[in-house]
Amino acid sequence: MLNSFFQIVWLVLPTTGLTFGGILYGLMLHRHPKGMILAFVLGLLCGLIFGVGIGYFCRRVEHEVRVDSVGVLGRQIAMVLQRMGYSQEHVFNKVVTYRPTLRAGLFADRIRVETMSGCARIEGPHKHVEHLISKLGF
């Protein structure tokens, strides 16, 4: 699983760059005298833009929340995540994993909630964890 911004960028950059550059070269730049170089530069630029954008939204974050009643927080998290398009996947002791459905969106990934005495640790994609924390009011 990709966790950091740079891991995601280095995966998306070459795949998007090569694809976009190849399409550009095949469609119109093969007639240009410097078409291969131009397609490579435009593909690299496109891959960099897409890599940074996807890396920013898909990176994983971990957020710790201090609470009085862990049971009430668990029910609130389950309700908010259900509205966001997540369904409960695994429950193991004090760790609950939520799986995204199609309703959760394009950049969705699993969210893991671990409850401890007096706090809860929420880990998942940046966009969805921040949305969850704002809905819970923390």
Rounded CA-CA distance 60/110 in Å is 10
3-class secondary-structure state, position 118: coil
| CATH number for 83 | 3.30.310.80
Give the pair of three-digit tokens for residue 96. Answer: 């609950």
Could you tell me the residue range of the domain that residue 117 belongs to? Answer: 60-136
The pLDDT score that the predictor gives to residue 2 is 56
Split into its structural domains, the chain has a count of: 2
Give the pair of three-digit tokens for residue 51. Answer: 């890599």
Rounded CA-CA distance 107/100 in Å is 10
The pLDDT score that the predictor gives to residue 98 is 93
46-70: per-residue pLDDT in tens?
888 988 888 887 788 888 888 887 7
Q: Is residue 54 domain-shared with residue 64, that is, in the same domain?
A: no
Q: pTM (2 decimals)?
A: 0.71
Q: Is residue 125 domain-shared with residue 65, that is, in the same domain?
A: yes
